[in-house]
Structure formats: structure tokens, C-alpha cells
Structure 1
Amino acid sequence: MNILITGANRGLGRNLVEKALINNHKVYAGVRKINDVASELKDLKDRYEKKMNLIELDVSDEESIKRAAIQVSKEEDSLDVIVNNAGILKGRGKEIEDLDYTDLEDTLKINLMGPMMVVKYFLPLLKNGREKVVINISSEAGSFANAYGGDYPYAVSKAALNFFTAQLKDAMKDYKGRVYAVHPGWMKTDMGGTSAPLSPEISAEGIMKIIEGDIKVDDNQFFIDFTGQSMKL
């Protein structure tokens, strides 16, 4: 399969890239700045040169997304999978009275508008693909049923991303696409911190099983965790 992964430089993104390459897929790894690639991602490029392409794709910049789509379309007629992984967490621990407008604006731009624009520009390639899978990396923080007072920008952005995922699932039904918002678990990453119980390698492995169809998901579900289990909206 041809797979696009945003936010590929580190954490879950880099692990998804590695797992996809190990499983013999072709990967377009999106990074914010092509001249600022983490050493571990460079190592993967060296090891899987023919299967991995690094592309500059800043999800906060529509023109960057558009250029990336043009670049990929010059090399491929189709994509099978889009993984919207890039995201940020700002304003952690702030009470609503201390909420910073810029934190909210930046978070919505990257966590919501970014995935929407990635789908906008890469959808023509995806519609030509065999599998037609969209994975939006979400969070249990975006669940209405589990709402808590905190992490306001992040939680609101993920709740909105879940709604967009539901819309996209409906829009893709005539193409027999599979569209999911995936809670990857609390992971040991820059965002999750060292206290997290889960490694990004384990989460990436589960997400790849969902992509490849080894984990079957009920057709009526779209908000799931990395094991394919339904999440409460």
C-alpha cells in the first residue's frame, strides 16, 4: 500500500512509519521542515531508501499541504492510506480563566484544520487507491462521555476532529472507504511524558493492524482505540 503519514518526525508518527516499512508498504513521511529531520527518521530513510519518501508537510500551512499533494501526485497515481498524526497539546494545566487565545487558535489550526486540509488535497489520490483508509489520530480527551475540566484547547480540537471523522466516513461511503478516529492510548512520547504506561511501538502496531485489516472494526463504528475497540463519544 501507499501510505501518507503526517507528523512523522518522532513519537507515534515515526513508529508508524517504521512499522509500515517493515510490513513492506511504501511510505510518504510528512515532516514540518525537510531540513530539520530527526536522526531516527533519517536512519529509516537510509535503511528503506526505495520504500520511504520524506516530504515537507506543515499541517498548519495550507500552501505546504498543497505543495506536498502536488509532489506526491507526480510520483503516484493513488494513495491507499492517509494517517493524520500531526498534533500539538498547548495550555495543559490551565484553568479556563487563564486560557490563552493563541493556544486555542494554534491547537485548532493543527489538530483540526490540518487534517481537514490534508484530506482536501490528498483525497483525489485516495479515491484512486485500493483500500481508501483515513486514520485521524484522536484522543479519549475528545469524548463527550468522558469530558473533564482541563486541557481545553486539546480536548475541544479532538472532539471536533471526531465529528469531522464522522462526516468524512459518510462522505466516503460510496467509495467503500474506511475512516476512523483512533485513540492511540497514553504513550511515552514528548506529548505523553515518561509516566505513560504505553509505548508508541505497541500503539503503532495496533494501528497498522487496523489499516491492514487484521483487526476487524464494526462497520458502524468510527471512534475506536488502537486495538479496534469502540470508544464512547
Structure 2
Amino acid sequence: MRILITGANRGLGLALSQVGAERGHHILAGVRDAEQGRGKLSELEFSKSISIVSLDVTKEDSVLQAANFVKEHFGSIDAIINNAGILLERDKTIEDLNLEEVQLSFDVNLFGPMRVVKHFLPLLLMGDSSSIINISSEAGSFENAYGGDYAYASSKTALNMFSEQLSNYVKEKNIQVYAVHPGWIQTDMGGVNAPGNPIETAKGIFDLIEKRKIVESKYCFINHDGSPMPI
């Protein structure tokens, strides 16, 4: 399968690129800076199965150009993993929030996936059985609200709603859509004390794409192991 991954050169995105290439997929690695992003990706064992795609999810022109590039060189895709994300204003109280940072959080975490789906969906529709995976977080759960991380949590809640709306929009087109909680994993965002391994999370996400798991959930917000997440 041809799989587009945003934010593919670090953290979970790098792990997803590694696992996907190891499993024999062709990874279209979306990165903001093609030259800078090539470094770690080129060091992977199956790097020949990875193609760099210049893609800044905050700029619609960049996403459109990336979609045109992929269409011209590869024709179609089978899955999108909207992985690019940011965590800003951590531990800030509502009184101290910088609302420009909140806006940027929504621009990356919500509008980024919306831009990507808007321009890449036509390429996804060419396949027989496709997937859209939006990397969410338990922070976006109403049930798990903890009175902090306002920008991140609110943007992920909105991403969950977008995923649910999108799932209903494409369900007759044989496209599965999931908003996936990756777990607390050891990345720049998660920190070194996180108990989870990004490679294990990546394996779970590819099991979903490859339909190795039967997901029994009323909503599309799920854990990386396929179990339902609390709304």
C-alpha cells in the first residue's frame, strides 16, 4: 500500500515510517523541510521504500502542491495518517493562556488534518479499501478532562468530531476513519519518562490499516490497540 504520513521525520511519525516500510508498504513521508527531514528517514533500514514529500500542514498551498506531486508521481494512495501535531501552552492556567498559541495549536492539530484530507481524499478514493488515521489523544476525551492543556486538549476534541463527521461522510466509499489515541509514548512530546514505545504504537496503527484487528466501537475514537476510547 501507499501510505501518506504527516510529520514523518520524528517521534511517532518516524516510528510509523519505519514500521510501514518494514511491512512492505511504500511510505510517502510528509515533512515541512524536505532536506532537513531526510536525515533520520534515510537512516532507516528500509529507506528505499520511503519517498520524501514536502508538506506543511499549516499552509494550504503546500498541501495542494504535495497532493499534485503525489498524483503525478504515484497516482493514488491507500491510507493517510495525520500524525503532525504540537503541544503548546502546557500547564498554563486559563488566565495565562497565549491565545495566539492556542490558534496555532488548532491550525496544526485540527485544520492541518482537514487540509490534508481535503486535497488527498480524491487520491484515496481511487483505492478499493482505504484508511484515514487521525492521531488524537485521551486529552481530547470529555470523560478524561483534567483542567489543563487547554490548547492541546480542545484541538484534539475537535479532531475527534472531525473524524466522526468524516467517517460518516465516507462510510459508503469503503474508507475507514479512526481518531487514534497513541498512548503516552517516549517522544519529544511525551518525554523520556513515558511508559509506551512508539514502535509498538506504530505496529498497532498498521494493524488497523491492514485490518488485522476487528474494531468494535460505536465511535471512531479508539486506542491504538483497537479498543474504544471514552468520549
Bucket of the pairwise TM-score, normalised by the shorter protein: over 0.9
Identify unmatched segments of 5+ residues in structure 2.
Answer: none
CA–CA distance in 2 between the matches of 1:115 and 1:152? 19
* Secondary structure at the counterpart of residue 133 of structure 1: strand
Could you tell me the TM-score, scaled by structure 2's length? Answer: 0.97
Match runs of 1:1-233 below 5 Å: 1-37=1-37, 39-44=39-44, 47-49=46-48, 51-218=49-216, 220-233=218-231
TM-superposed CA distance for 1:220, in Å, is 3.5
The residue type paired with residue 19 of structure 1 is V
The residue type paired with residue 177 of structure 1 is I
* Secondary structure at the counterpart of residue 9 of structure 2: coil
TM-superposed CA distance for 1:219, in Å, is 6.4
Give CA-to-partner distance per residue, 1:34-60, whole Å, 9 cap, x none: 12126321213x7432x2110111111
| Contact 2:217 2:227 (C-alpha < 8 Å) held by counterparts | no
What count of residue pairs does the alignment treat as equivalent?
231
Runs of 4+ in 1 over 3 A off after TM superposition: none
| Contact 2:87 2:105 (C-alpha < 8 Å) held by counterparts | yes
Could you tell me the TM-score, scaled by structure 1's length? Answer: 0.96
Identify unmatched segments of 5+ residues in structure 1.
Answer: none
Q: Kindly report the root-mean-square deviation, in angstroms, between the aligned alpha carbons of the 2 structures.
A: 1.2
Identity across aligned pairs (percent)? 48
CA–CA distance in 2 between the matches of 1:47 and 1:213? 22
Give CA-to-partner distance per residue, 1:120-152, whole Å, 9 cap, x none: 000000011122100000000000111111000
